Amino acid sequence: MNAEALLAAGTPTACAPWPRVVVPRAVWIALREAPGLDLLALWGAPGMAHAAFLDRAAMRVVLASLPAPEGRFPALSPGRPGAVLFERALHDLWRLLPEEAVDARPFLDHGRWPVAGPLSARPAPQEPEAPPMTFLPAEGEGVHQIPVGPIHAGIIEPGHFRFHVQGETILRLEARLGYTHKGTLSLMLGKSPRAAARFAARLSGDSTVAHALAFARAAEAAAGVAAPPRAVAIRAAMLELERLHNHLHDLGAIAGDAAFAALHAECGEWREHLLRAQHAAFGHRLMMDRVLPGGVAQDLEAPGIAALRGVLARIAAALPGLRRIYDSHASLQDRMVGTGIIAPALRDAFAPGGVVGRAAGRAFDARVLNGEMAAEAMPLHAAGDVDARWRQRHAEAGIAIARAEALLAALPEGPLAAPLPPRGGEGVALVEGFRGECLAWVALDDGGLIEALYLRDPSWLHWPLLEAAVIGTIVADFPLINKSINGSYSGVDL
C-alpha cells in the first residue's frame, strides 16, 4: 500500500492542507505494512480511529480514519512497533480497543481518574483504585530489578523506569509514563482556537512555540485563514530561538551527565543570555503564549530585535569554541562515542523524527516539508550514538542561529494577526520543534469551536527507542543516553 492507493481507496474529507480519507477495514489493515508511509501518530475520536503518516515520496502528510462503531479497530502495532504506545493511550483515553494489539496494558491511565475513557463519547465514572503496574519480564541467572521514579534524582519530569539488570548490564528497560497527564485535550474541546491556544502552549513547556505554532497552523488551515507575512516571519524566528535555547541546554546537560561541568556551565550561560534577550523582545523568557491562531500576540520592536541579534552573533561566535572543548577531551568522548546506539533497523522500524532520527541517519525535517528549508541544508551525523546526537545538536544550533538572524534582519511589515471567522473545517500541521516534528490536527464545528483534536509530540517515538538503545549498556550510562534522547514526559502524557 502506498499513499496513492490509500487515497484512492478512501472517502476524502475536507482536511487542509493535507488529505484525510475514511477507509474501509481491509485498507486500514493493509496500513500495518506500507513501506513508503511512516507512522506519525495514531489517536481517536468517539467511534473513530485516526492515523497520520508521512508520505516520504511526495513529502506530505496523509491521514487515514477508520470508523469504529463497536468501539474496536484493528491494531497497527503487529506491523508497526511505533504504534504500540499510541494504541495503549488510545484505549486509555477514547476506550477504543485495538484488536490484535502487541501490548494491551494501560499507559496513561493509572486507574486514578474519576472516569474511564475521559475522551470517549460517554466517559464512565470509575472508583479510583490504582491497580499495581505490570512490567514486561526478563529472566535469567542473577537478574534483578531496579525501580526508579516516578520522582527522579534530578530536576526532571516524573516517570517510572523499570530496569532489569544482570550485574551492571541492562537487559531490559521499560518507561512507564502518564504521571503528568493533565487532561489537556479535554480542556481544549468546545473552546475557540484562540481560547484553546494556551493549552497547546503548555503541552510541553520547552516546546511551547513549536506546539502552539502547530496548533495555530492547523486551526488556521481549518478556518481557511492565512496568518499575515509579518506574523509568519516572527513565528518562524521564535521557533528557531526556541530550538537554539533548547539545543544549548542539551549540549550542556549531556556533558554535565558525563560529569564535565565546564561545558555545562558554558552552555548554560549562553542559554541564559538568550533567554534574557527573548524576555526583552517578547516579554517572556520562553516566549509562551506569543503564538496565536491567526498570527502573533504582540509585535517585535526594534530594541527587541537588536537585543536578539546581538546575542545571536555572540553565540554564533562562541559555538565553534564549545565544540573545540568537546573535541579536545578524550575522557568526554570516551563516554559518548559508541554509547546508546540506535541501530539502522530500529530507526527504520520507528521512523523517529528530530535530532534523534537525523543522528541515526534518517534525513527528515518538517521544515523541508513546509518549504522553509532546503533538504541539502540539513546536516546528518548518522552514527546513532550519544556522540552523534551531541554533534547533530551542535550543527543544528548553528543553522538555527543563521535562520533566526536572516528572519530578524528582514521582517516584512504589515498586520500581526488575521481574525479567525467562526466557521467549520478541518486542518493539520507539522512543525519542526527542537525535538522533532510536532503534529496538530484540529476539527472545528460550524460555530468555529473545537470539535475534535490531537496534538502529538515527537517523543512518542523516542521513548521506545530509549528503551532499545540502553539494552546491553551499563546502568551508569543510562542518564547520559536518556539525556541525549531527551524525551518529553508532559508532551506524551497529554
Grid cell 473545517 is found at 425
Which C-beta is closer to other proteins: that of 115 or that of 416? 115
When asked if residue 85 is in the footprint of other proteins (CB under 8 A), the reply is no
C-alpha count within 13 angstroms, C-beta hemisphere, residue 139: 0
Which C-beta is closer to ligand SF4: that of 60 or that of 202? 202
When asked if residue 183 is in the footprint of ligand SF4 (CB under 6 A), the reply is no
Which C-beta is closer to ligand SF4: that of 56 or that of 202? 202
Footprint of other proteins on residues 282-301 (CB under 8 A)? 285-286, 288
One residue of 249, 290, 358, 389 binding other proteins per CB under 8 A: 249
The number of beta carbons lying within 10 Å of the beta carbon of residue 473 is 19
Binder of residue 488, out of other proteins, ligand SF4, none (CB less than 5 to 8 A by kind): other proteins
When asked if residue 393 is in the footprint of other proteins (CB under 8 A), the reply is no
Binder of residue 203, out of other proteins, ligand SF4, none (CB less than 5 to 8 A by kind): other proteins
- Cβ of residue 373: shortest distance to ligand SF4, in angstroms? 29
Number of residues counted as binding other proteins (CB under 8 A): 48
Helices (H) and strands (E) in the chain, counts: 17, 18
One residue of 17, 128, 229, 414 binding other proteins per CB under 8 A: 128
DSSP summary character for residue 166 = E
- Cβ of residue 268: shortest distance to other proteins, in angstroms? 4
- Cβ of residue 158: shortest distance to other proteins, in angstroms? 5
Which C-beta is closer to other proteins: that of 130 or that of 374? 130
When asked if residue 202 is in the footprint of ligand SF4 (CB under 6 A), the reply is yes
CB 351 within 8 A of CB 465: no
Which C-beta is closer to ligand SF4: that of 65 or that of 278? 278
Number of residues counted as binding ligand SF4 (CB under 6 A): 2
When asked if residue 279 is in the footprint of ligand SF4 (CB under 6 A), the reply is no
Cis peptide before 303 (omega within 30 of 0): no
Rounding to the nearest 10 degrees, give the CA dihedral for residues 78, 66, 38, 7.
Answer: 130
Q: Which three cell numbers stand for residue 393?
A: 545538536
3-state secondary structure of 255: helix
d(CA 54, CA 59): 7
Which C-beta is closer to other proteins: that of 123 or that of 224? 123
d(CA 40, CA 431): 12
| β-bridge partners, 439 | 430, 456
When asked if residue 111 is in the footprint of ligand SF4 (CB under 6 A), the reply is no
Footprint of other proteins on residues 200-239 (CB under 8 A)? 202-206, 208
When asked if residue 482 is in the footprint of other proteins (CB under 8 A), the reply is no
Footprint of other proteins on residues 88-127 (CB under 8 A)? 110, 112-115, 118, 123
Which C-beta is closer to ligand SF4: that of 79 or that of 205? 205
When asked if residue 271 is in the footprint of other proteins (CB under 8 A), the reply is yes
CB 464 within 8 A of CB 81: yes
One residue of 50, 181, 367, 381 binding other proteins per CB under 8 A: 181
Name the segment binding other proteins (CB under 8 A); options: 73-81, 264-272, 385-393, 434-442.
264-272
When asked if residue 79 is in the footprint of ligand SF4 (CB under 6 A), the reply is no
One residue of 47, 158, 183, 205 binding ligand SF4 per CB under 6 A: 205
Burial of 125 (0-12, 13-18, 19+ CB in 10 A): exposed
CB 33 within 8 A of CB 52: no
Three-class HEC string of 366-392: HHHHCCCCCHHHCCCCCCCCHHHHHHH
Binder of residue 347, out of ligand SF4, other proteins, none (CB less than 5 to 8 A by kind): none
d(CA 294, CA 310): 29
d(CA 376, CA 453): 33
Which amino acid, 39?
L
d(CA 127, CA 131): 11
Which amino acid, 352?
P
- Cβ of residue 275: shortest distance to ligand SF4, in angstroms? 14
When asked if residue 80 is in the footprint of other proteins (CB under 8 A), the reply is no
- Cβ of residue 157: shortest distance to ligand SF4, in angstroms? 10
CB 42 within 8 A of CB 50: yes
Burial of 130 (0-12, 13-18, 19+ CB in 10 A): exposed
- Cβ of residue 199: shortest distance to ligand SF4, in angstroms? 9
Contacts of 244 (CB under 8 A, 6+ apart): 274, 312, 315, 397, 400, 401, 404
When asked if residue 184 is in the footprint of other proteins (CB under 8 A), the reply is yes
Name the segment binding other proteins (CB under 8 A); options: 70-78, 161-169, 235-243, 268-276.
268-276
d(CA 360, CA 389): 8
Main-chain dihedrals φ then ψ at residue 388, nearest 5 degrees: -60, -40
Contact residues: other proteins, CB under 8 A = 110, 112-115, 118, 123, 128, 130, 150-151, 153-158, 178-184, 186-187, 198-199, 202-206, 208, 249, 265, 268-269, 271-272, 275, 279, 285-286, 288, 488-490
The contact set with ligand SF4 (CB under 6 A) reads 202, 205
